[in-house]
Chain A
Amino acid sequence: MGAAFEIKTMAQLAAEDKHPEILFWVGCAGSFDARAQKVTVAFCKILKEAKVDFAILGTEESCTGDPARRAGNEFIFQMTALQNVEMLNMYNVKKIVTACPHCFNTIANEYPDLGGNYDVVHHTQFIKELIDEGRLKIAEGGVFEGKKITYHDSCYLGRVNGVYEAPRSILEQLDNDLVELKRSRSNGLCCGAGGAQMFKEDEPGDKRINTERVEEALASGANIIAANCPFCITMLSDGVKSFDKQDEVMVYDLAELIVNNNKL
């Protein structure tokens, strides 16, 4: 465990008249969900390790509005999104990184219509950038050497935004045996959380979508399911539990894998 440190907010930095290199958009899941908080913390450790000058919005951040908009509630979306855009523009934010593909998609693709234009990257892309620039080194002979890891493409990073390679190249660096799922990349199967499904009961059917997806992941024989989205992590973990495999198969975000590997 590396040394503890303090996370600065944009407001604090603005008071010191400083502008960080990048804003870390934490998102609702990353802020409040106990499981996703671990990813948030892991990603902060990586940012610190790579000496990235970053800040968060802290209590000034609000939901991007993605689930409201996809549920059909444009009013709620506009209310929260316009506030966010106002805030981001006030701090003159240029570059944003987020560990949530839904936040990533909404800020990158939908905020421009609302007057918010930023350079937005998903944390897997940013981590890859850090590695490529030599700012982050992946420790050799790490804990994942030879371990079987499979990767679940989230819809909003993969099929919707076409990011397939950055997460895979990170996994390759971890020196593991990456097994692809039958349905991967543009054919990836949804975890079942998108489109505001996360916040409601399933419609009547034969089985849950996460069960279908986890069946496929278990069939791959992997011990670790790597994901890039807090909602996928919830869905996949629930699915693994439903098969009573939680002691054999772990669901991790890529950031957590790096933290474990590098013992940060």
Chain B
Amino acid sequence: MLQVIIFIIIAAAAFYMAFKKFFKIRRNILLGKDVELVNDSSQRIKNTLLIAFGQKKMFKRIVPAVFHFFIYAAFLLTSLELVEIFIDGVFNQHRFFYPYLGGFYTFILSIIEILSVLAFIGTLIFLIRRNLLKLPRFHKPEMEGWPKLDGNIILYLEILLICFVMMMNGADEVLFNRAATHAHMMEGVTGSFNFAISDWLGPMLFGGIESVGTLHVIERIGWWGHILVVFSFLNYLPISKHLHIMLAFPNVYWAKLNSRGQMDNMPAIMNEVKSMMDPNAAFDESAMDEEIPEFGAKDIFDLSWRDIMGAYTCTECGRCTSVCPANITGKKLSPRKIMMDIRDRAEEVGLNMDTGKIEFIAEAKREDGAKLTAKNYDDGKSLFDYISKEELHACTTCNACVEACPVMINPLDPILKLRRYEILTESAGPSDWLPMFTSIENTGSVWQIPDARDKWTEQLKPKDN
């Protein structure tokens, strides 16, 4: 009974704390602007099935894809087993479904065990790859410190998790052999669970232990260890890159569907230019806001919720950075860093907003009783404290990062929004671009060239003899 009470308390606390954090993340994501979604749910469902569930884009690099798939499949199926663990935990049962499902139970648990072993191998390989093989994309400047530790913690937790599962099943197998398992309706029965791995691994590891009491303790350590790692994971996700195991699905579902080559139109500017071009349009003063309009993105509030969700979805694999032509040639730009910066900034804003302090309200809006909201928020910082102009200026808009991301994050969108802020709102930007701008404006060509635009046709004209 004590076990049941402890289980319920821990489970409730774990879920409460985790959901609180997840709701904060949701709040942070929704600090972004609304997105006009192309309504095509059949394409979205197809993407989710192929790219999120099917991991289609991972398979561009086959070796990591295979091992990643093992870990992913083990995770999905072990989640199924959690249903039973909860029933057992709350109702003080043990392997509640075993007598009812029989062979099917053995089948499912065997698959989970086989996948767990494959995931174990995968995890070891990933640890080696991350720490010993010096894969360049894991050793970029943005990966120093916490991101590196984060990547390893996840892998260690996975190893721990699999060890606990094997302890649990292995010890239980030996107990069953000796008619001492507590499995539902199996008390006093001699038998074998016939799970693919623990069937032989259990006796091999624990067969030498004489004491049934010790075996029960090992089995309990496995059971509790497993569920405690699961609860830890749940609470670790919100601060970790591992959050992708949840957000990959909505991120793929809501990913941009229109052409990659289509930048978001800016209707405010389009309409202003249209009225400038229209000789009949009267100057409409009502259209002028008192506030000077800001264009482009300076902070997370100016990005879309999709951009911020992308940042929280990013698992820092660095496939984008490894194909970025600017990064390959030693420039400062790293698309992964852009996404990590957006997440860090969203977290910073979120934490500040949680305090509700007046000091985070823009000075001009600090009238009596003003409450801190996204609308009046100003901590004197912005995304430009995280992302330098040099990084933004290095982008060739080649879309390699967009193509590379296995979970359809689009690092190019925020880069272009930040560029728009620099040019349109700050009237800054690389001075090299000014002649191009003025030339387009004055002569309709990117270069200031005195020739007529159709001068080249002379090369084809019949020559006078």
Contacts and interface: CB of A to CB of B under 8 A. Distances in A.
A73 B332 CA distance: 23
Interface residues of B, number: 69
Interface string B307-335: 00000000000000001011011111100
Given A155-B396, A190-B325, 20 more contacts: A41-B460, A59-B453, A72-B416, A72-B419, A72-B422, A72-B423, A73-B423, A73-B424, A73-B429, A73-B437, A75-B424, A79-B440, A110-B261, A113-B262, A190-B398, A193-B396, A195-B395, A196-B433, A203-B332, A205-B329
A126 to B, nearest CB: 18
Contacts of B393: 200, 203
A208 B445 CA distance: 26
A197 interface: yes
A202 interface: yes
Interface string A155-196: 110011100000000000000000000000011011011111
Interface string A78-107: 111011001000000000000000000110
A159 B398 contact: yes
Contact of A212 (B329, B332, B454): B329
Given A63-B446, A70-B397, A205-B330, A200 B261 contact: no
B416 A68 contact: no
B277 A61 contact: no
Contact of A32 (B261, B270, B449): B449
A206 B330 contact: yes
23 contacts: A26-B456, A32-B449, A61-B444, A68-B437, A72-B420, A74-B266, A74-B295, A74-B420, A79-B277, A80-B440, A86-B277, A110-B263, A113-B270, A155-B399, A187-B400, A194-B398, A200-B430, A202-B394, A203-B332, A205-B329, A209-B326, A209-B396, A211-B329
Contacts of A196: 433, 436
A190 B400 contact: yes
Nearest to B258: A109
A-B complex: 6 closest residue pairs judged by Cβ atoms: A206-B330, A62-B444, A195-B397, A72-B419, A200-B432, A72-B423
B459 interface: yes
A203 B265 contact: no
A28 interface: yes
A7 interface: yes
A82 B396 CA distance: 24
A184 to B, nearest CB: 12
Interface string B452-465: 11111101111100
Q: Give chain A's interface residue range (CB within 8 Å of chain B).
A: 35 or more
B261 A71 contact: no
Contacts of A209: 325-326, 328-329, 396
A228 interface: no
A44 interface: yes
B296 A72 contact: yes
A150 to B, nearest CB: 18
B429 to A, nearest CB: 7
A204 interface: yes
Interface of B: 60, 258-263, 265-266, 269-270, 273-274, 276-277, 295-296, 323, 325-326, 328-333, 390, 393-400, 403, 416, 419-424, 429-430, 432-433, 435-437, 440-441, 444-447, 449, 451-457, 459-463
A114 interface: yes
A76 interface: yes
Contacts of A45: 460
A15 interface: no
Given A195-B395, A203-B394, A5 B454 contact: no
A212 B325 contact: yes
B390 A203 contact: yes
Contacts of A206: 329-330
Q: Which of A67, A155, A160, A195 has the most CB of B within 10 A?
A: A195
B432 A199 contact: yes
B456 A208 contact: no
Contact of B445 (A63, A106, A110, A212): A63
Given A109-B261, A205-B326, A67 B396 contact: no
B292 to A, nearest CB: 14
A148 to B, nearest CB: 25
A195 B398 contact: yes
A160 B323 CA distance: 15
A88 B66 CA distance: 51
Interface in A28-57: 28-33, 37, 40-41, 44-45, 56
A93 B326 CA distance: 38
Contacts of B260: 159-161
A4 interface: yes
A201 interface: yes
Contacts of A26: 453, 456
Contact of A62 (B390, B396, B437, B445): B445
A69 interface: yes
Given A72-B416, A199-B432, A207-B330, A32 B451 contact: yes
A2 to B, nearest CB: 10
A48 to B, nearest CB: 9
B420 to A, nearest CB: 4
A72 B462 contact: no
B429 A5 contact: no
Nearest to A203: B394
A160 B259 contact: yes
Q: Which of B421, B435, B436, B463 has the most CB of A within 10 A?
A: B436
